[in-house]
Amino acid sequence: MTIYSDKIRKAIKFASKTHNQYQQQTRKGKVIPYITHPLTVGMILSLAKASEDVIVAGILHDTIEDSPKDKKTTPKMIAERFGKNVTQLVLSVTEQNRNLSWEERKKEALKHIKKFTKDSLLVKSADVLANYSELVDDYSRYGDEVFNRFNAPKEKLIIHQLKVISAILSKWKENPLYWDLVFLAGNLREMCSGEFMNEYPAKIIKVKDFKYDMKIKCPICDWRGTPRSSDNINSDSHFCLDVRCPICDKMILVAEYASANNDL
Ligand SMILES: [Zn+2]
């Protein structure tokens, strides 16, 4: 099998027709052509050494959702050109019911991820990486105004994305894009540290009550685990020991030594 196959070239052509020719679509609130996004997703997947079908699905992943009514891309059209496997992958990352409210749609999407196969998780991972790395970049240049282009406020948008990343990561630990997603989650959290993150204060307990196998949950991204599995225990300080969320780096738990308050 060749690396740059017919099937991949065909997918690029197909996606270009949908996003550029029929839709003349640009990235939300920007002049950059939309096609850069599915191509970035395809590139991330090929760097992650995904299979040909997964790369093809990544390039096609927005064609059903974004095609105009009179030039609708249907699952049948994708099946005829790219096969059943690619079609199922594209459908798995396509929003099912666009008539629901933002909140309901996002809730559905999270439930959906819990049933994903590894290949669907890969496409979703690359989609999230492409979209939100672009947002982090734009944010570093333009600040909070980048959030004007979304249908949801900054806080909701970021918390939802952290939940998506958490759901993807807890489903598949060997995901080749695992550390890219962890890094992205840190950047997303950084965009709002000092703002709403403070509304979720860490739980404070005494060190004698601290256990490595105690169940903890991140209030931001819903990650669940034990301090031991989080690998984010900081015990350098003489006064306390803190545990951070391995996904979004939020401080979840602080265990204070009994003498700390007296010494200070
Ligand atoms: Zn978290």
**Cα of 166 from ligand 1 centre, angstroms:** 7
pLDDT tens by residue, 108-149: 999 999 999 999 999 999 999 999 999 999 999 999 999 998
Round the average pLDDT of the chain to a whole number and report it: 90
**Cα of 84 from ligand 1 centre, angstroms:** 36
Distance CA 117, CA 136 (A): 28
Q: 6-16 vs 75-92: helix axis angle to the nearest 10?
A: 100
At 114 the pLDDT is 93
**Cα of 12 from ligand 1 centre, angstroms:** 36
At 264 the pLDDT is 45
State mean pLDDT over 13-26: 89
At 133 the pLDDT is 96
pTM (predicted TM-score) = 0.89
**Cα of 185 from ligand 1 centre, angstroms:** 9
Task: Yes or no: say if 192 and 205 are a contact pair by the CB < 8 Å rule.
Answer: no
Q: Which domains does the chain show, CATH number per domain?
A: 6-190 (1.10.3210.10), 200-263 (no CATH)
**Cα of 96 from ligand 1 centre, angstroms:** 27
**Cα of 19 from ligand 1 centre, angstroms:** 35
pLDDT tens by residue, 161-218: 999 999 999 999 999 999 999 999 999 988 887 677 778 888 999 989 999 999 999 9
pLDDT tens by residue, 230-244: 878 887 777 888 999
**Cα of 182 from ligand 1 centre, angstroms:** 10
- Please enumerate in sequence order all residues whose Cβ is within 8 A of that of 74, keeping only pairs 6 or more positions apart, or say none: 64
